[in-house]
Amino acid sequence: MSSVVEAVYDEVLDRNPNEPEFHQAVREILESIGPAVEKHPEFVETKLLDRLVEPERQILFRVPWVDDNGEVQVNRGYRIEFNSALGPYKGGLRFHRSVNRSILKFLGFEQIFKNALTGQGIGGGKGGSDFDPHGRSDTEVMRFCQQFMTELYRHIGEHTDIPAGDIGVGGREIGYLFGMYKRLTNRFESGVLTGKSLSWGGSQARTEATGYGTVLFAQRMLQTRGADMEGQRVMISGAGNVAIYAVEKAQQLGAKVVTVSDSSGWVLDEDGIDVELLKQVKEVERARLTEYANRKPGVSYHSGSKPWAVGGTIALPCATQNELTSKDAKRLLDGGVKVVAEGANMPCTPNATALFQDAGVLFAPGKAANAGGVATSALEMSQNAARASWSFEKVEQELTKIMHNIHDECAQTAEEYGHAGNYVMGANINAFLKVAGAMTEQGIV
């Protein structure tokens, strides 16, 4: 990094102690954008980088609620409204015991650039709670969501901040959150949350969008080398929304997906993952992957390890941050991997990313490869604004167009700055220039 950029990073470390995930996300961006900063000295003069790494607003609040046994529980709620230069804050809510300020700041910071890449006029934000919905009854989840919204509602709105789902927040949670928002505000403001049910303002293909988009980006990378998804052997981590629909789209395009994983372990299915069985186990029953293995002959279950050593040409990490280490990267390289596309947010450690790039693997960072979810959320907002409902085919067509545009812009920017084929460099510089241009034109605010 240049001395100017290094000074900004040092200031981030000083002002945000004990936030390693946020430090990692900031460093990954700053290491890439040096060439763009050198071309634009005005960014240095106006302290644009200093402003960029500081959230516009950080909201922390208490969430007391009562469980089914009558016991009072207390969780923390957060919303990081990071940057609104390109539009209202947009980003998911995560309900998981691991949630803290560092993780949400990392996710919110990443969201700025991911949203910029979509070209849809949305800023970056993220939020959530250390509440874990797993093992909780529907009524407990409802009570928590209602209490969470009694504070959050005053900070959001379709022209201000539009949350969506993330880990632990699906259609059930979005419904409870919206119901309380409507009651508190006396407004059916359907554009205030995305990921809604189709019957009251949701979009076709929103559930599938992140997983589909990751595969579409990987396919576009393959096409630059005269290949496609047909006949590829694919390894996927995760078994949530992103992973399930990455499996579905990859197999629609002729690939064979042989692994998925959850927090307990992973399965190897040499016949190809049965998507309908996976949906039944994970979406309907909310059960562990052991149930998948128990119900399908020939499937092996592996506890306490990762699915990266089975060999294959494409790896799609779709679970959580920093899940894929340098040790895992070496196993993937030994197994013949040619393409890695991040379906989760920052799932590869910096050392793993470097190993893939040094080996000439086509590597797509999450801010580009998994932008399909937020892109389709923006399409949902467009439908809400027009009180319209698009077909699945139309939404998927728009999603495909957006993912191809993101790929092509990243590739073009990387080449323009002398790093052809480096999608990390291309994505970061392209998104940074969009955000920095808007911040410059809007003044010191």
Does residue 141 contact residue 116 with C-beta atoms inside 8 Å?
A: no
196 is catalytic: no
Going by C-beta distance under 8 Å and a sequence separation of 6 or more, which residues neighbour residue 8? 30, 49, 50, 53
Q: Which of 309, 212, 224 is nearest to 261 (CA)?
A: 309
Give me 190's structure tokens: 């359907």
Does residue 66 contact residue 72 with C-beta atoms inside 8 Å?
A: yes
Residue 161, H or E segment: strand 161-164
- Give the DSSP letter string of 72-113: EEEEEEEEEEEE-SSSSEEEEEEE-TT--HHHHHHHHHHHHH
Q: Which of 315, 318, 305, 212 is nearest to 267 (CA)?
A: 305
Distance of CA 374 to the CA centre of its chain: 8
3-class DSSP assignment, residue 335:
coil
- The sign of the torsion formed by the CA atoms of 259, 262, 267, 269 equals negative
Residue with tokens 């960014």: 43
- Catalytic-role residue among 90, 126, 282, 367: 126
Residue type at position 343: G
Which of the residues are catalytic? Answer: 126
